[in-house]
Structure 1
């Protein structure tokens, strides 16, 4: 069997971190150029076709109209292009050594998945929770049913000699200010959902947050829970470079990306989704994506896996309690997920989806760690339930949202000033 998961596993065995962009262009020729540039980068890469906003929300007529008008979209409208067009984009680019994943953001993606399959692709990402709550107002139960059908569509590809791959976006909920235990729990639950609907090659995600040490503990908790509950499938962990407010300076952006690459290597993750120096300003160019891939690969090359486990502050225990509580609700995990949100057993901070209880809240402590200030009905261990001491004010929320941006930009500016002072001193000495 060949496939996306097999390629990542091969690179991981060789000690190589697979790095991947998020690029998507509406013009097929430009999309093809992006894939070719990704493949040619000085890094171990896989390709990405990221879809546009019309397609993500199921407005396929809107995507076709935009194409006909000549408008540039913020991604590749795969359902508006003929499958033959997409196959031409892939011809001579996609291969066993360079598989391509489709990234979309749809809560009900059946038409997208069917089109992906017709175009000859077999790797995508998302999930019934992680692509529902942040991006839509679709009821969770509807998303669960749609994703169950999509999993079964993908699993049927195995009869063609290809191992389809599906990545949970669960470790990226809301991008920021979601405590790690909930990210870990949702990623594992979606992995179990995928497995229950026939998939054998999956990946679980975790988005870089506000503390490298807390992130290290969280990724190890994710790997441990996945090994215990999902088993020895073709499974790997993918790290997302920080998904919140991004540093504005080139030095700050590059430093944050380098830390994400080091987090991936230190924790044994196999793949990294990169961000670019343009992230805070505009959609990045192909060249900027390639530069980010190569910068991440360079940072990873100078790092080794941790020899000593991260200190245990309770992330594993919290995540395990959440997962077990959901699994105990119903034998069918899809129904259990819907029940979990109805009961508030899963409650994503600051998420406005109608099915989310909206009681849970988080805050950043003085060390930059994400903590719970309110847990609502989530069945966390009693010793993990907080008081309200960390309740965020409006000003505190804004400061928390910009914490990473400020931290990395200030470090970059300080580094530049220090370097300039050193150069001036050296010139005076000469």
Structure 2
């Protein structure tokens, strides 16, 4: 391991303190210039989509190179420290052993590196013009929160439901308690004028085949959970799915529900993820999908985009591949044909099917009690919330989804959830077969990998 002094020299700051021409400073009820949410707000006010990679390397020098490459782009970018799997599950001894033995890790082990080393890695890069978010999704995030705060960072992501259910076996009650403590800890550890920021991963459950109404509701509920545990700046997520019209409805529904349910003083924005399911295997397919996600973000009114690369279907992408993907997304966003639709939304999108479903889920959970953490646990125990194809023991497992002939994600079975299953024209139910499920899982990749015809 190279000493801190051998790390890359600080890059020249080309961003003029983050307030480029056309930007306005945050108002009195908004985060200050050094905050993650404040940076996104200023970019949105200037009509710029913030683009962000999913990037994490164990070696501080390589991690610094990735951040420097992201920061150097002539675009509105924020940095990412994606955390390794050992740290996510709390096996810090294994992370330290891997570092000592030179064993490759799939992310940055922030709790295994001394805080001084992480601070040195960030020195000259982190600042008002380039905030950095720690991405992990751990159901046991306390050590990560302590480490990121000690390193001078204040933005992270995850949630009590959104990484507990699909990706592990931690009991939901334990994850809810862990996340309540983590939010309160983050709010305490970040000194003023910093504004702690937490992003819900709720809009990305399982990556694919979860109908948007439930994704939107889970993201909104997690954002509300964060605010009730001391967080004043949140972002709500949604992952691109199978139909651009339905996706547009989902992003706009998320905006509307946030305005209706989050405390009015909360700083908030919406982040869109480039498709999280089975990714195209060809370079042209991956590029087309990324370009479409950037156009969707602009059209629907998302303020930040998490990108994927052409290498995603094969391996962990390099710094160069991440930077290339960011350039592609930024260029696609800049080529928009018209500005994003402003609030209030037109009637045809304001009361969309996605909005009505999402609101039914949110209201059903809030009716279960004032303690939102307990209400979430009860909702899953009763099947009021039920993620399709999720095998976690605390998930009821009675819901099923499918992609209809028009490309929209629909409910085939809803169990005890407060929404009906979809009835095809004529009133019939759509049967779900194993072949149909397999085709749906690979449908987006196949569509984008197909040869482009003139």
If the length of structure 2 is used for normalisation, what is the TM-score? 0.88
Deviation at 1:147, TM superposition (A): 0.3
- Of the three residues 325, 341, 347, the one matched with 2:386 is 347
- Of the three residues 257, 261, 266, the one matched with 1:225 is 257
Deviation at 1:217, TM superposition (A): 0.6
Distance in 2, matches of 1:173 and 1:342, equals 18
- Of the three residues 391, 397, 414, the one matched with 1:358 is 397
CA contact (8 A) 2:422 2:429 kept: no
| Superposition RMSD in Å | 1.5
Distance in 1, matches of 2:384 and 2:431, equals 20
Tell me which residue corresponds to 1:114: 146
CA contact (8 A) 2:58 2:105 kept: yes
Deviation at 1:160, TM superposition (A): 2.6
CA contact (8 A) 1:258 1:295 kept: yes
Deviation at 1:389, TM superposition (A): 2.7
CA contact (8 A) 2:308 2:325 kept: yes
Deviation at 1:231, TM superposition (A): 4.0
| Structure with the bigger percentage of helix | 1
| SS state at 1:166 partner | strand
Aligned residues: 413
Tell me which residue corresponds to 1:90: 122
Over residues 176-217 of structure 1, what are the superposed CA-to-partner deviations in whole Å (9 max), with x where a residue is unaligned? 000000000000000110011111100000000000001001
Over residues 257-302 of structure 1, what are the superposed CA-to-partner deviations in whole Å (9 max), with x where a residue is unaligned? 1111111111111100001111111111101100110100111011
Q: Which blocks of at least 5 consecutive residues in structure 2 are unaligned?
A: 1-31
Show the 5 A alignment for 1:251-270: 251-270=284-303
Distance in 2, matches of 1:361 and 1:388, equals 16
Distance in 2, matches of 1:215 and 1:110, equals 33
| SS state at 2:452 partner | helix
- Of the three residues 325, 337, 343, the one matched with 1:292 is 325
Deviation at 1:306, TM superposition (A): 3.3
Over residues 231-269 of structure 1, what are the superposed CA-to-partner deviations in whole Å (9 max), with x where a residue is unaligned? 431100000000000011111111111111111111111
Tell me which residue corresponds to 1:3: 35
CA contact (8 A) 2:55 2:80 kept: yes
Tell me which residue corresponds to 2:341: 306
CA contact (8 A) 1:109 1:150 kept: yes
Structure 1 runs of 4+ aligned residues shifted over 3 Å read 306-313, 382-388
If the length of structure 1 is used for normalisation, what is the TM-score? 0.93
Q: Which blocks of at least 5 consecutive residues in structure 1 are unaligned?
A: 419-430
- Of the three residues 164, 167, 179, the one matched with 1:135 is 167
Deviation at 1:313, TM superposition (A): 4.3
- Of the three residues 346, 361, 367, the one matched with 1:328 is 367
| SS state at 2:167 partner | coil
- Of the three residues 58, 62, 70, the one matched with 1:30 is 62
Q: Is residue 373 of structure 1 aligned with residue 412 of structure 2?
A: yes
Deviation at 1:385, TM superposition (A): 7.5
Deviation at 1:226, TM superposition (A): 0.6
Distance in 2, matches of 1:89 and 1:238, equals 26
Tell me which residue corresponds to 2:3: none
Deviation at 1:67, TM superposition (A): 1.0
